[in-house]
Structure 1
Amino acid sequence: MKLYHVKLILKGVSILGILLTIWAVFKLYQMGAFSDSKVLIDLLKGYGIWAPLIFILIQIIQVVIPILPGGVSLAAGVVMFGPWWGFLYNYIGIVLGSLALFWLGRRFGHRIIDVFVSEQTLQKYMHKLDSKGWHITFALLIFSPIAPDDTLVLLTSLTKMTWREFTLIIVLGKPLSIFAYSLAMLYGADWLMRLIGN
């Protein structure tokens, strides 16, 4: 299968994921899950002790294969499990997903990177990857809630950065960006729902 066809399939899967997310949000809104915490809690009780594990697995998959917009799943975690547990489950899922993505990049190199990273983005960062300052640049970008983390992880897998260095940057850098992004998406969604309600 040609690279063009693989990219086309992935784009189709991503669009399908977005449409399913919109449908799920609409259904949850109809059920009152965003306005009544009891409805949301009752919904999660249906999955019992599996709910956090299912959510973490979704986050791992989301990092490796971007099916859903990352911000949506981050906010969903906070809404479903509360600010602290939601943050923890988001953190665990994203860190594990980032480690898996780094391993895939190391294992398959350009064969996988060319599928997930556009040529424009590749050219934008490629000349920086071999520079001595990439460790610092990567760490600062990972701290930022608006950086393309998944792309940066894949690109960094091409460098000589060790597993230990990468893991340390991800483990220390992710909490701030996850917290900031979760709050932004959560309160942004709340504002949007109030606007729709009016």
Structure 2
Amino acid sequence: MDFETLKDWATLENIMELIKEYRSFGPLPGILLPMLEAFFPFLPLFLFVMANANAFGLWFGFLFSWIGACAGAVLVFLLIRKFGQKRVFQFIKKHPQVQKLMNWVERHGFGPLFLLLCFPFTPSAVVNIVAGLSKINIYQYMLAVMTGKLVMIFTISFVGHDIRSLMTQPMRTAIVAVVIFILWYVGKRIEVKLNKSMEKEKGGHEG
């Protein structure tokens, strides 16, 4: 199956049919599809999330999509962190735009990564690779992935599960916006505490 055929095949109906076909495997198809998107970014994550929300219900669909997307992102990050110094990645690291993005991620940590990962159409594969090549702390990265993906996947699940009610009840849209702000604020507070404990640890080692 070539790229164009795959793109034509990837519709909500076809993906839901695929999930139903492998329903005997329980939540596995719902977790594996979003996980695969981290390795093959041309796959339509938003369709996988919407299909999960329709096939498994809002909450289970959201949970399976979130677990899969986070697991995939962290696996890509760890692979790049482990093999990023190999020759094959050197041309990526030397690219001026990649270097700028790496420096930006290293300087700002959690905040911008969280915001980037909140949006469904951010090229998360690029974010994972750049984060893996950078010197960002793995705990900061995992925190950004888990909270950012939570917001993004819940929003898509919420919209995909019942599009009509989101348009007729603007209060629901307002609740989503408030949840984004709360998660961002909590994430920033956790990051500050992480940085303080890391500095203390570093000071203890130097002492």
Q: TM-score, normalised by structure 2?
A: 0.63
Distance 1:19 1:112 in 2: 32
Q: Aligned residues: percent identity?
A: 23
Residue 135 and residue 48 in structure 1: after superposition, are their counterparts in 2 closer, same or farther (change >3 A)? closer
By how many angstroms is 1:16 displaced? 3.3
Q: Which residue of structure 1 lines up, in the alignment, with residue 88 of structure 2?
A: 111
Distance 2:73 2:33 in 1: 13
1:23-43 alpha-carbon deviations (Å, 9 max, x no partner): x72697xxxx8xxxxxx9xx8
Distance 2:45 2:15 in 1: 20
Residue 18 and residue 123 in structure 1: after superposition, are their counterparts in 2 closer, same or farther (change >3 A)? farther
Residue 26 and residue 97 in structure 1: after superposition, are their counterparts in 2 closer, same or farther (change >3 A)? closer
Q: Which residue of structure 1 lines up, in the alignment, with residue 196 of structure 2?
A: none
By how many angstroms is 1:174 displaced? 1.4
Q: Equivalent residues in 2 for 1:171-190 (5 A)?
A: 171-186=146-161
Q: Which amino acid aligns with 1:126?
A: Q
Instruction: Assess if the C-alpha contact under 8 Å between 1:128 and 1:134 holds in 2.
Output: no
List gaps (5 residues or longer) in structure 1.
1-11, 34-39, 190-198
What SS does structure 1 have at the residue aligned with 2:10?
helix
1:15-68 alpha-carbon deviations (Å, 9 max, x no partner): 33222224x72697xxxx8xxxxxx9xx83x64541311221222112212352
By how many angstroms is 1:107 displaced? 2.8
Distance 1:66 1:125 in 2: 18
Matched, 1:139 2:110: no
Residue 85 and residue 114 in structure 1: after superposition, are their counterparts in 2 closer, same or farther (change >3 A)? farther
Q: Which residue of structure 2 lines up, in the alignment, with residue 17 of structure 1?
A: 6
Distance 1:18 1:113 in 2: 31
| Partner of residue 98 from structure 1, selected from 67, 73, 81 | 73
| Partner of residue 50 from structure 1, selected from 22, 25, 31 | 25
Distance 2:159 2:89 in 1: 31
Instruction: Assess if the C-alpha contact under 8 Å between 1:113 and 1:155 holds in 2.
Output: no
By how many angstroms is 1:172 displaced? 2.1
Instruction: Assess if the C-alpha contact under 8 Å between 1:90 and 1:178 holds in 2.
Output: yes
Distance 2:4 2:117 in 1: 26
Residue 174 and residue 18 in structure 1: after superposition, are their counterparts in 2 closer, same or farther (change >3 A)? same
Instruction: Assess if the C-alpha contact under 8 Å between 1:113 and 1:154 holds in 2.
Output: no
| Partner of residue 151 from structure 1, selected from 126, 134, 143 | 126
Instruction: Assess if the C-alpha contact under 8 Å between 1:99 and 1:167 holds in 2.
Output: yes
Matched, 1:69 2:58: no
- How many residues align? The count is 160
Q: RMSD value over aligned CA atoms? A: 3.5
